[in-house]
Amino acid sequence: MINKTVLITGGARGIGKAMSEAFAKEGYNVLINFNKSEDEANELYTKLSEKNFYVKLFKADVSNRVEVENMIDYCVKEFGGLDVLVNNAGISQDKLFTDITDEDWDRMMNINLKGCFYCSQVALKYMISEKKGNIINISSIWGISGASCEVHYSITKAGIIGMTKALAKEVGPSNIRINSIAPGVINTDMLSEYNSEDINVLVEETPLMRLGTPDDIANCAIFLASDKSNFITGQVISPNGGFVI
Ligand code: NAP
């Protein structure tokens, strides 16, 4: 039994849901954050609790500092600590660069980048005092290679990689590891912005000839959270089927 606690932002749907399930199965205590998906969160809570996994839910908008502080306080009080933070919550938007409004820009930066900043900063205050911790930031291949019509999204995902590398240097001496996962095209609700033709093209451009699954990413997160990756920090691992090499 692993006596560790993980907090997964956006943990009730898509990749986050697969990670909540995978970490619970590994024996972690799991705090599942959600913002809008209350029904999905309750359903997942019931499913995992019935299997006697120790999971809790917390509603918070990651772009709101006070809500993030309350969530991490709750995690430490309820589970007695916070060992692993997975910054997974994120939004995407398919829009021509010339059409992006100030509101689009701010929303993208606030959720994808500031959310990661708030959760990491608040968690790190606790982790540094404990002299241990592990943060996994979910970036994207588009943060590495750039996506047409998703410039503001690509910027946030590239920013997450920068944050991962810089923070890994700053907090490594406190025995805290920070890594990033940059998924390829993963079959979740986020793909609803693409039509089936776009998706076929993406599959054809993927050497392994398929979309990724949320489990492909969850398996990677389990590895990065485990002692098997003890000497890995500041790195970007990209499960993408060979789409970006
Ligand atoms: P998804 O199914 O659309 O899920 C997005 C998740 O983010 C939901 O759980 C949502 O929670 C949460 N979220 C959004 N805004 C939030 C906020 N303000 N506060 C807290 N949670 C918030 O997408 P997904 O594919 O699982 O994406 C998960 C992560 O993987 C994202 O960071 C995404 O950029 C990244 N990613 C996805 C792909 C892909 O192809 N799917 C590829 C590369 C990277 P609520 O519904 O509760 O609001």
Check residues 193 and 232 and name the one with the higher pLDDT: 232
For ligand 1, the distance from its centroid to the CA atom of residue 173, given in whole angstroms, is 31
pLDDT grade for 122, boundaries at 50, 70 and 90: very high
Q: Which residues pair with 32 in a beta bridge?
A: 8, 57
Q: Which two tokens stand for residue 201?
A: 């093209």
pLDDT grade for 1, boundaries at 50, 70 and 90: low
CATH topology of domain 5-237: Rossmann fold (3.40.50)
**CA nearest neighbour of 47 among 16, 26, 65, 24:** 24
- Our answer to whether residue 118 is catalytic in this structure is no
Cα–Cα distance for residue pair 81/65, rounded to 1 Å: 19
pLDDT of residue 179: 99
Choice among 28, 45, 118, 153 that is catalytic? 153
pLDDT of residue 193: 86
pLDDT grade for 2, boundaries at 50, 70 and 90: confident
Rg (CA), the chain: 17
Boundaries of every domain in the chain? 5-237
Average pLDDT over residues 74-102: 98
Name, in order, each residue with C-beta under 8 angstroms of 156's C-beta and a sequence gap of 6 or more.
Answer: 90, 108, 109, 112, 113, 143
Summarize pLDDT for 10-34 with one digit per residue, the tens. Answer: 999 999 999 999 999 999 999 999 9
Residue 121's Cβ-side half-sphere holds a number of Cα atoms within 13 Å equal to 13
For ligand 1, the distance from its centroid to the CA atom of residue 86, given in whole angstroms, is 12
pLDDT of residue 84 exceeding 90, the answer is yes
Which atom of ligand 1 is nearest to 212's Cα? 40
The per-residue pLDDT of the chain, averaged, comes to 98
pLDDT of residue 5 exceeding 90, the answer is yes
Summarize pLDDT for 143-160 with one digit per residue, the tens. Answer: 999 999 999 999 999 999
3-state DSSP assignment of residue 86: strand
The pTM is what? Answer: 0.99
pLDDT of residue 87 exceeding 90, the answer is yes
pLDDT of residue 229: 98
If one residue of 17, 19, 59, 91 were mutated to test the ligand 1 pocket, choosing by the most ligand atoms within 8 A of its CB, it would be 91
For ligand 1, the distance from its centroid to the CA atom of residue 12, given in whole angstroms, is 9
Which residue ranges have their beta carbon within 6 Å of ligand 1? 9-10, 12-16, 33-37, 61-63, 88-92, 111, 138, 140, 183, 185-186, 188-191
pLDDT of residue 131: 98
For ligand 1, the distance from its centroid to the CA atom of residue 137, given in whole angstroms, is 12
Which atom of ligand 1 is nearest to 111's Cα? 18
pLDDT of residue 232 exceeding 70, the answer is yes
Distance of CA 139 to the CA centre of its chain: 7
Cα–Cα distance for residue pair 233/180, rounded to 1 Å: 9
Average pLDDT over residues 186-213: 96
pLDDT of residue 79 exceeding 90, the answer is yes
pLDDT of residue 189: 97
**Looking at ligand 1, which residue's alpha carbon is closest to its atom 17?**
61
pLDDT of residue 198 exceeding 70, the answer is yes
